[in-house]
Amino acid sequence: MALIDDLKNAQKEAMRAKDKVRLGTIRMTMAAIKQREIDEQITLEESDILAIITKMVKQRQDAASQFDQAGREDLSANERAEIVVLESFLPQPLTEDELNALIEDAMASTGANGMQDMGKVMGVLKPQVQGRADMGALSGKIKARLNS
């Protein structure tokens, strides 16, 4: 079943269960997807939807940490509740071993041997790990491998 269908079904279930946080978060996600489809006049693919959800999780993590620093635990708790809902639609995160194996395969397939090949390796890996790994951490791992 497609991710958009999962979101629609979860929205219906949240309405029936009167789960306001889940319903609001799903509606916000659906609105972001629809907005991008309208702006770009395309129908988004699964990887594009995963990218939107991943971005929304990152935004909420940033907001929650800022609320924590400001001593606003109530607002931070709201952000963290939304993170839980959003993460339920993301695929299982990759383990370190899986991630390292994917990096090795990508480096071998592109023939990467220096920092000038960073873009090639990231280009191969991005569709494979979208929504399943932190792209910043992945970039750091690739840089470390290419520099050694």
User: pTM (2 decimals)?
Assistant: 0.77
The 10s digit of each residue's pLDDT in 86-131 is 999 988 888 888 888 888 888 888 887 778 888 888 888 888 887 7
The 10s digit of each residue's pLDDT in 57-81 is 999 999 999 999 999 999 999 999 9
- Shared domain check, 47 and 20: yes
- Shared domain check, 75 and 129: no
Structure tokens at 36: 């991008």
Domain span at residue 123?
Answer: 96-147
Structure tokens at 85: 């809902």
- Shared domain check, 56 and 14: yes
Provide, rounded to the nearest whole percent, the portion of the chain with pLDDT above 70. Answer: 99
- Shared domain check, 80 and 55: yes
Distance (Å, rounded) from C-alpha 17 to C-alpha 52? Answer: 25
